[in-house]
Chain A
């Protein structure tokens, strides 16, 4: 059974993703921020990491860098509900530059999420 580590500070979103992925046959672990996610990954490496970008304590971009340094083969999918409204950066583009293999813009359709996870789990 492929495993997915969901890193998101929003509990509702985490639970919804967990329910969706478990219904599709994945094993799911959760973490509330990047640092916690890295700890869980060290303890039990998941096949796919679903990483939110805008999180307190350690954000997704910083965490993607940390994953890349410590686990270069980790398959990270970045997701965010944030925007480039203030013109500073497009978070998802930056996430890709930093090493995320795929990106998902929130809100998303469940099919989009499942397709992205399946593609990485099978890779």
Chain B
């Protein structure tokens, strides 16, 4: 970049919009541009043809517009020239396509005999309404785009699942129906009668399982109430286990008792499913050990003081700590405790991991909890117990409350 003024590059480095300087090839890209094209380092972009990112037609049009701007600037010296802008597709190096607004300006110096242009890239995506991230505007745009793709993928999965459920229900209709028909033909003292009763029982159990899956999948109204997380987690893990590949070993370390938290059970199940699916996805080929821990954890004033300053949201007190970790690389991306609002693209967690954590963060935030991503210990979530939210309900009073949580 010795041919470009350093002050210009310094300014470009600070811009929220993506900035490229290019002849026919890219010569420079700022950090926001890197994020937009899905690259980690300038070397992944610099030296590549501009058309690789915007398509040949768009690049031609863009450069024509830039030339028009130059002509306009020459002829209308006393007025501010109108900056040409056009809409186009940005093809990221990670396979993503994003609609962007592009503006190109010819710049005053030449690159090895070719005139250079400065290209401003602005994503057309509106800001992320979910509030899932507090990061840089460009990061939010990339997040929103990734979120949209994840939602689209989930919709496809939903359609496939709906088709499978239809087939399963038809098969169960035949199993249960023929079973009941056969039962009528066999006297109750015949051994076959008992066997068919078992077939029917298994069919009914499968039918209930399908209904439970549907109940879990359907979005329901938020309803927070006192919940014993150890009961809910044990029950839900038992439900999820058949879906976890056998080459992934599941180790549960769930306390026999935990302090109640005020929570929406449906959302907590979604959170558990999200965290576990994330880890299972990471180990789907290599296998490994998935560990789920759940227990009460007392955070002292000293611990709070010793935590990262950005963890000011955590108060001393009793929490229920849910920790999901694996034997692979998940959760080992950054040293030391990391507050949820520190999770950013630059952590290089990978898109799917970020999406998973984005959904998790939204649920944790709704429950007043905190996420910690710690090197070597996976993801930990601290849920404030009712002992914190209501001082009169201390852990020592857990037992009288327990009776109220039979159906959590």
CB–CB A10/B174 < 8 A: yes
> What sequence of 0s and 1s flags, for each residue 152-172 of chain B, a beta carbon within 8 Å of any chain A beta carbon?
000100110110011111111
Please state if A85 and B176 are interface contacts (CB–CB under 8 Å): no
Q: Are the C-beta atoms of B165 and A107 separated by less than 8 Å? A: no
Q: A13–B178 Cα gap in the complex (Å)? A: 9
Q: A10-B174, A107-B169 in contact; A86/B158 too (CB < 8 A)?
A: yes
Q: Are B158 and A106 in contact, CB atoms less than 8 angstroms apart?
A: no
Cross-interface CB contact of B169 among A23, A86, A106, A110, cutoff 8 Å? A106
Instruction: Name the distance in Å between A113's Cβ and chain B's nearest Cβ.
Output: 8
Tell whether, in the assembled complex, residue A106 and residue B165 are in contact, meaning their CB atoms are under 8 Å apart.
no
Residues of A within 8 A of B (CB): 10, 12-13, 16-17, 19-20, 23, 54, 80-87, 106-110
**B217 interfacial by beta-carbon distance below 8 Å:** yes
CA distance A107 to B174 in the complex (A): 8
Partner of B203, one of A80, A83, A107: A107
Is B126 among interface residues, defined by CB-CB distance under 8 A?
A: no
Instruction: Check: B83 CB closer than 8 A to any chain A CB.
Output: no
Docked Cα-Cα span, A81 to B162, in Å, equals 9
Complex CA distance for A83 and B218, rounded to whole angstroms: 10
Report how far A108 CA is from B173 CA in the complex, Å: 6
B240 proximal to A (CB < 8 A): no
Minimum Cβ distance to chain B for residue A59 (Å)? 12
Contact check, A10 vs B162: say whether CB atoms are below 8 A apart: no
How many chain B residues touch A (Cβ–Cβ < 8 Å)?
A: 28
Give, as a whole number of angstroms, the nearest-CB distance from A8 to chain B. Answer: 8
Looking at the complex, which one of A12, A82, A87 makes contact with B165 (CB distance below 8 Å)? Answer: A82
Which residues on the A side are within 8 Å of B207 (C-beta)? 107
On whether the beta carbons of A85 and B162 are closer than 8 Å, the reply is yes
Task: Give complex CA distance A107, B172 in Å.
Answer: 6
Chain B residues near A110 (CB-CB < 8 A): 176-177, 180-181
Contact B214 A106 (CB under 8 A): no
Partner of B173, one of A16, A54, A82, A83: A16
Task: Collect the chain B residues with CB atoms within 8 Å of residue A80's CB.
Answer: 166, 169
Pair B181/A81 contact, Cβ less than 8 Å: no
CA–CA, A33 to B71, complex, Å?
68
Contact B181 A106 (CB under 8 A): no
Please give, as numbers and ranges, the residues of chain A lying within 8 Å of B159 by CB-CB distance: 86
Interface pairs A-B: 8 shortest CB-CB:
A81-B169, A16-B177, A107-B172, A12-B174, A107-B173, A86-B158, A85-B162, A106-B173
Residue of B nearest to A52 (CB): B170
The chain B residue sitting closest to A19, CB to CB, is: B181
Assembled-state Cα–Cα distance A23/B180 (Å):
12
A13-B173, A23-B181, A107-B175 are known; give 8 further A-B pairs, CB within 8 A.
A13-B177, A16-B177, A81-B166, A81-B167, A84-B218, A85-B217, A86-B155, A110-B181
Interface 1/0 per residue, B130-163 and A, CB below 8 Å = 0000000000000000000000000100110110
Q: Find A83's partner among B165, B174, B176, B177 (CB 8 Å cutoff).
A: B165
Which of B204-257 touch A at CB < 8 Å?
207, 214, 217-219
Contact A16 B165 (CB under 8 A): no
**Would A85 and B214 count as touching, CB distance under 8 A?**
yes
